[in-house]
Chain A
């Protein structure tokens, strides 16, 4: 149950992560800062997936579609049309909204397990599209993606340190936004859908529309993450939309703790760090990731966030009704 302690823990965790990130930023060189950007991107991806899967209960295995969509839109708009990355980011929002609205309108019509299956299938469709299409560069992808230009503010985005701070700032912004959403009446509706959508419908809620709307919101944020990734690496390829990416982010969210927002952000950082080192040292990192994931699903239901929660002292019993919960 969500109680007054949760926003504190959530923000506390994020503040701690931010502090560590800044410390790392100060002490690291080129690669460390580059890696921080990558972590920020995955944190955004994981948090947006959490809104969909953790809060609303719509577990999607196809969100990499939107990650790829955002990345490719940015790449195409900047390289083929010569637009700046900022303009590209602005334009990809309505694109993402449109695509996710169409997909969501159809996919959300079916319940949990089917939804997983369909999102997996649709995600693969986009991957095949990106892979097969010449216009999208095929399997070679597209190179030469420019970063957002903040020269007007005196910031040189080609500097990995600057971009890292930018990415972290965006991640923080996304967190704050999602935190607000989750604490709003709309957020309460999402959690209610997860727990008992039939009852919610009987109370008068337009459950279908609510589901489509959260799908659109989550997917659009994921597309923004995709754009940030494209700008970070300067390069997009179909691999960004591969099902393993969808899976990996879901694993990040679950390991961190579904339905907690800060948990998935933490999960994203830890899983990405682990994957990075594992794939360097040990070729079969999927084996480890998969096994670890199975363990988490079997034994650690609420992920790392749940563990943290248990470690902290319980709040004193509140006297009288505690009405305004979350």
Chain B
């Protein structure tokens, strides 16, 4: 479903990603792990189009999306959540989600009708809110929510795009164990026809969710395989898991 081949990215003389290839099967849950600075978020930035790759190809389904800007990729069904919350702070949770749903419904250019009357869009937004557990906070301004709730909105925004492929960048970052469990459940409940790629540091979440894992280290792919393969890989254990798991 999502494939990248030979991605390279450098910032000046700093080589961040080197020959990174990734194949994500449709409907799978693919985790990307690695130490800090391994280039995981940069990889996501290349996949979602925020950054342009120096070399390599990215394809979504059959389509080569390497040259497409972020909005074009989003419209083709590739949505992402950000590592650092990037919301619309002065709008309520409902409004935040409604924005994304309006874009998914392609009504963003309608200028002559009150937004309120687009009931389908708002119903979608409510559904997404319920899916991420925010149904009680709909009227709250996003900027005033707790960190964990903002994280939920962050994921909700990506979900509201009705994507085919969902990129989640450290969705549980900074969350309490309770909140992490809730996010884990949420991801587990996502429809199987949705392909999910997730960057995570929390190994419990990774091993419980992932079908396949790619391990990045210093910009290159260190290992790639099923959770068992990764767990038993000596190379991975040495570098990242800190000894046999």
Contacts and interface: CB of A to CB of B under 8 A. Distances in A.
Direct contact of A and B (CB under 8 A): yes
Interface of A: 1-2, 180-181, 183-189, 191-192, 195-196, 198-207, 210, 318, 321-326
Contact of B71 (A181, A185, A204): A204
Contact of A203 (B91, B100, B122): B100
B99 A204 contact: no
Interface in B76-106: 79-80, 82, 86-92, 94-95, 98-100, 102-104
A37 to B, nearest CB: 28
Contact of B116 (A1, A183, A203, A210): A183
A324 B103 contact: no
Contacts of A191: 88, 90-91
Nearest to A181: B111
Contacts of A192: 88, 91, 99
B107 interface: yes
Interface residues of B, number: 50
A18 to B, nearest CB: 22
A202 B70 CA distance: 5
A207 to B, nearest CB: 7
Contacts of B87: 196, 199
28 contacts: A1-B92, A2-B91, A180-B112, A184-B112, A184-B115, A185-B108, A185-B110, A185-B115, A185-B121, A186-B109, A186-B111, A192-B99, A196-B86, A196-B88, A198-B86, A199-B86, A199-B87, A201-B69, A201-B70, A203-B71, A203-B100, A203-B157, A203-B161, A205-B108, A323-B126, A324-B115, A325-B139, A326-B116
Which 5 pairs show the lowest CB-CB distances between chains A and B? A204-B74, A321-B138, A324-B116, A186-B111, A199-B86
A185 B138 contact: no
A323 B125 contact: yes
B113 interface: yes
B108 A189 contact: yes
B88 A195 contact: yes
Given A1-B141, A184-B113, 12 more contacts: A2-B91, A180-B112, A184-B111, A185-B111, A185-B113, A185-B115, A186-B108, A189-B99, A200-B99, A202-B80, A203-B99, A210-B108
Nearest to A195: B88
B223 to A, nearest CB: 29
